[in-house]
Structure 1
């Protein structure tokens, strides 16, 4: 039984039967200690003496529910006996049946609206939710999920713009290229104007705009939200992937299409990518600490062991988790790196880093028979351990700041997941891949 449930039940606004539904994710929220203030009109809680924005707690109890069911009736009752000004800014205390105490403060500018018996929804600030990746951390699956569930998200007040950041029907779930153009121009004013237009065209029911672009996790791209927090509440959702897997996946999907030498590229990439402490610090500086929702890209860390369930929880919609459509195929299936080694940097095959036609044709031709089950590793076991050690200070710093109580940011590497091949074994793997392609061509011709 969650403390929020105790609090509301103690005031007589939630029945015992309803009380059990007030949860954080799918676990009772007994770790939350409420102590905060009302602000436009959002609750701010504290957890382990750190402020936690109410947007991060909607799965425990919606801010609007707390306002309407607790503070508004309480203020109305008090207002019968005292003028509003007399309790503005003064702390009040609520006590649950098990004698837990909860303290809140009302700001004077919110008192009159809270004393009204009628909800004043128009006072709630709109929210912009940015899923910023990171790259190679499930972004394609999340974006496909957003596209399929756009009608449900809209019904819940979460507007998903089209690929041009408008309100049209060309919705893919991602906004990579539109936001990349704004980020390159450092056009914060242009981005704000687009968001203003989306809210204006979406009506009063729209309470949030949901955007997804994994390239926003590249350093410097947070410039597009400069000054935005003065007008909107922000929520920055970011999934962090262990860097050895990030780098090898990024090589295959992007860099190998224009670069020829994996190890030369890796030297540069180690300096440029995976420094999650710098990325989070940059976004926190512009959006505020309460806006950051950092998650670890690991099945054992996901809500219900599922990335998409975890994403819904990160959005603050866990109470609707069973209403969404989760059916989808595999996103970005990766062919064996034996193929990648043979075609890397071949400009006759790839026009740019986003050209996936060759790999798509191979998968269609071979029926995904070139997709690795146990992935061929571009790194040796020793090299993988060295990469993990290189990023250890970064990961320890992120864990201390954003994942208090977690022993380590990422699980210990399981080397059994990877196929570490000798030079001779790698040659054999390349021949196997070539013969798989030839066999598929023969079968297609014969058929």
Structure 2
């Protein structure tokens, strides 16, 4: 008897595999494979999407309740047949709590199955998921989001705890699937063949949003329309997914990448060496070729994503509202637009990273601050970032050795992790003699990673800057502080 542990990773067809296993529960059991606690595919959301049958184990591993997990696994094994566990969250258990994971499973005969995806496509799809379900408001992937999906690092880490023969790594590419089919590929991993007796799930199980609906969803996050209301979020996301599918987008392996060709190639090159290592170590490929799909390139058919227009936003609104309001769609929309919500957000102009990079760098924080408030317990540089411990509600410090060579116009870029929802303030001295509220810019921060870009314009040069990272106690991580002008 074996335990087959399908650990995702995320955005590699896990929902489709889980739907397949659920639909074929009885067939698999007849063949000696138990898929315990199959998820409910009839969840009212319109697609056969689920979290698998083992997502709850993540919280138990997180709380270090390994004894509880051992008892659960023991109960599954009492059926005396092979057991299949499937959840993308198990990848994160392997990434964060490998010693706990293998403390549970090393006493069993197991195989870990992990699908991996080329990073330019993986990160694009992850961003889509972050916007849909994690209230992401920014138009880029924060560093911690990329690190959480670094499968190269996680796979190498696993080898400290497990024999390589127990790890099955499968590239998520249609051309590399066994028989060109992900269901046949997964069955092959557990020693079965796909045949006509098996029931296949819907062709589209967990559609990604296209560029228009994704930007629409991001705007809803900015407006906090369904913040802390999961039911509303699922309903809206379901309608946006249906809108995407009805417009012939959102299908598996359909090119809907958020990155430019240049950005995609940079991502591919960044991970090239690690991917070669994975191919050689886990797949015994001497040529080090992990992925076979052609590299992205500019051609006449390639289209860069256009910004969401007001007309397209209205069209999406009409689609969302049509079932509830039907005959009153137009009047309802007029009422919404009259409030200025969509127009205000869509017409809002702000500096983007591409604008920021057009200006020369005049300052980067690379020295320890000396002038700081009593509410700062510690500031310490840790590699590429600064760790700031705030012991009170008024932490601040003056930026050390600030370059005064500017004409009064500076553009500041800040990347910061906040311990909770708070407000960041940046005070500056120009014509004024000291830091004052009239010479200050402020931005709301969400809990977690924030990237801010803003402009300061004065008639005289900016002589000094003071950063107030937030107004709450806790640990702030300053990933980046750069000034251009």
* TM-score strictly above 0.5: yes
**Counterpart mapping for 1:132-151 below 5 A:** 132-151=7-26
Which residue is 2:314 aligned to?
434
* Partner Cα distance (2:127, 2:230) in 1: 10
Which residue is 1:261 aligned to?
138
* Partner Cα distance (2:250, 2:51) in 1: 27
CA offsets, 1:180-208, max 9 Å, x none? 112212333322211111222x2xxx321
Alignment equivalent of 1:177, drawn from 48, 55, 63: 55
Matched, 1:413 2:285: no
Which residue is 2:66 aligned to?
188
- RMSD (Å) for aligned C-alpha atoms: 3.2
* Partner Cα distance (2:144, 2:74) in 1: 39
Which residue is 2:361 aligned to?
none
What are the ranges of 5 or more consecutive residues in structure 2 without an aligned counterpart? 40-48, 329-485
Which residue is 1:384 aligned to?
264
Which residue is 2:120 aligned to?
244
Alpha-carbon deviation of 1:322?
A: 4.5
Q: Provide closer, same or farther for how the CA distance between residues 155 and 198 of structure 1 changes in structure 2, counting only shifts above 3 A.
A: same
Matched, 1:212 2:89: no
* Partner Cα distance (1:176, 1:426) in 2: 39
* Partner Cα distance (1:431, 1:375) in 2: 24
* Partner Cα distance (2:302, 2:15) in 1: 25
Q: Provide closer, same or farther for how the CA distance between residues 415 and 185 of structure 1 changes in structure 2, counting only shifts above 3 A.
A: farther
* Partner Cα distance (1:427, 1:359) in 2: 17
Alignment equivalent of 2:236, drawn from 336, 345, 358: 358
CA offsets, 1:54-79, max 9 Å, x none? xxxxxxxxxxxxxxxxxxxxxxxxxx
* Partner Cα distance (1:159, 1:182) in 2: 22
Matched, 1:315 2:315: no
Which residue is 2:369 aligned to?
none
SS in structure 2 of the partner of residue 239 of structure 1: strand
* Partner Cα distance (1:230, 1:343) in 2: 43
* Partner Cα distance (1:145, 1:436) in 2: 31
What are the ranges of 5 or more consecutive residues in structure 1 without an aligned counterpart? 1-125, 165-170
Alpha-carbon deviation of 1:132?
A: 0.1
Q: Provide closer, same or farther for how the CA distance between residues 246 and 434 of structure 1 changes in structure 2, counting only shifts above 3 A.
A: farther
Matched, 1:235 2:111: yes
Alpha-carbon deviation of 1:259?
A: 2.1
* Partner Cα distance (2:265, 2:243) in 1: 36
CA offsets, 1:384-443, max 9 Å, x none? 111111111211110111122364111232347995426xx3245x63353254367569
SS in structure 1 of the partner of residue 246 of structure 2: coil
More helix by share: 1
After TM superposition, the structure 1 stretch with the greater mean CA deviation from structure 2, 387-396 or 154-163, is: 154-163
* Partner Cα distance (1:137, 1:290) in 2: 22
* Partner Cα distance (1:379, 1:353) in 2: 28
TM-score, scaled relative to structure 2: 0.56
* Partner Cα distance (2:174, 2:284) in 1: 19
* Partner Cα distance (2:105, 2:243) in 1: 49
Which residue is 1:109 aligned to?
none
Alpha-carbon deviation of 1:163?
A: 5.9
Matched, 1:301 2:301: no
More strand by share: 2
* Partner Cα distance (2:58, 2:272) in 1: 30
TM-score, scaled relative to structure 1: 0.61
SS in structure 2 of the partner of residue 236 of structure 1: strand
Which residue is 2:162 aligned to?
287
Alpha-carbon deviation of 1:140?
A: 0.2
* Partner Cα distance (1:349, 1:190) in 2: 35
Which residue is 1:60 aligned to?
none
